[in-house]
Amino acid sequence: MSTDTTAPETPDPEVPVFDAPPTVKPEFFVAGNTFYAQTENGELAIPLRFKTRLIRELRDVEGDELDQMFILLDRLNDQATADALDELDIFDTTRVVGQFFKAWREKQQASVGEAQRSSN
């Protein structure tokens, strides 16, 4: 008889992607080149496309995704989103940031896949 009481890990579902923002909005989604998060303080919209030099700078940051997010928002001159994240509970902010980077990785992988398909 097993005494393991840990729940089995369930895969984190992909962030839904739409061409345009849907009428009924999920908590996190991508529309076009923008990541959206529905929070208790309203909707946040963060671009998923930016200059290569910014990605290189984020990659060199000695910190976690939370640190990277605030550097990203600073470089994008998006103080309003940074302020909104600062006003959320830390667990909510961590979820938003985690889902943003997950969506960014998914979009990046999709772009690579599209490029590979078009070159075949």
pLDDT bracket for residue 7 (50, 70, 90) = low
Angle between helices 79-87 and 90-119 in degrees, nearest 10: 130
Q: Closest Cα to residue 86, out of 104, 69, 61, 98?
A: 69
Map out the domains of the chain as residue ranges: 17-113
Q: Using one digit for the tens of pLDDT, what is the confidence trace for 54-110?
A: 989 888 888 899 999 999 999 999 999 999 999 999 999 999 999 999 999 998 887
Global pTM value: 0.80
